[in-house]
Amino acid sequence: MGRRSIHTPDELRELIIEATTEIVEQVGLEGLSAREIAKRVGYSPGTLYNVFENLDDLLLIIEARLLDELAGRLASTDAAGPPADRLRRLVSTYFSFTQERPKLWNLLNEHRMPAGREVPEWYQQKVESLLAPLENALTPLLNNSDPAAQKRHARTLWASVHGMTSLSTADKLAGITAHSGRSLVDDLVSTYLAGLERRCPAH
């Protein structure tokens, strides 16, 4: 009894999203259950399923917010100075963001849609939008190489950095990367950019 009448449906939706985010942030996806969420918001698990059809939909919303937040962080990264410096700052922003709430970031890697359900189109678009600032920063460094190559280089760099952040936020491979998550990312960007300079020399 009690809280059932206190919240509007929109408020309740928001409460559930916040509580779920908090749980994932604290204990990771494996510690998440409808029961635990319900307990935190003070409603019954049944109420949860009145608001969200299933946990997957709820998790996708949280992932979407995380991707939006990172996109916002990248968009507000200082764009001054030479393109290589800009790129370094973007990658550094990306990496730092993932380390702030590692378990929440891991959600992107750990949460799989159940068999038969596709990841929605908007999700792919949000991931794609993380690539845009990298691509923009890379373009001036690529000295007129063709657009396909530009896209590939941005994806290579993104996939490498993304892979490193995931290794760094997962516990299992910590022995290899713990001392060096950031130093590996720095080395990657420096060496990759030096390589681009060599492969795409200015005319």
Q: Does residue 187 touch a second copy according to CB under 8 A?
A: yes
How many other CB atoms are found less than 10 A from the CB of residue 162? 18
For the stretch 29-38, contacts whose Cβ atoms lie closer than 8 Å and that sit 24 or more positions apart, written own/partner, are 29/59, 29/103, 29/106, 29/107, 29/110, 29/111
Q: Does residue 18 touch a second copy according to CB under 8 A?
A: no
198 to 98, 112, 194: CA distances (angstroms):
31, 40, 6
Q: Does residue 132 touch a second copy according to CB under 8 A?
A: no
Instruction: Pick one of 26, 45, 122, 159: the residue that binds a second copy (CB under 8 A).
Output: 159
Instruction: Pick one of 33, 113, 140, 144: the residue that binds a second copy (CB under 8 A).
Output: 113
Amino acid identity for residue 124 in this structure: Q
- What's the closest the beta carbon of residue 128 comes to a second copy, in angstroms? 7
- What's the closest the beta carbon of residue 8 comes to a second copy, in angstroms? 33
Alpha-carbon span 70 to 130, nearest angstrom: 8
Amino acid identity for residue 34 in this structure: A
Q: Does residue 146 touch a second copy according to CB under 8 A?
A: no
Stretch that binds a second copy, among 2-10, 41-49, 102-110, 139-147 (CB under 8 A): 102-110
Q: Does residue 153 touch a second copy according to CB under 8 A?
A: yes
- The half-sphere exposure of 78 on its side-chain side, counting CA atoms within 13 A, is 8
Structure tokens at 156: 């290579």
Under the rule (CB under 8 A), what is the footprint of a second copy?
27-28, 30-31, 108-115, 119, 123-124, 127-128, 131, 152-153, 155-156, 158-164, 166-167, 170-173, 175-177, 180, 183-184, 187-188, 190-199
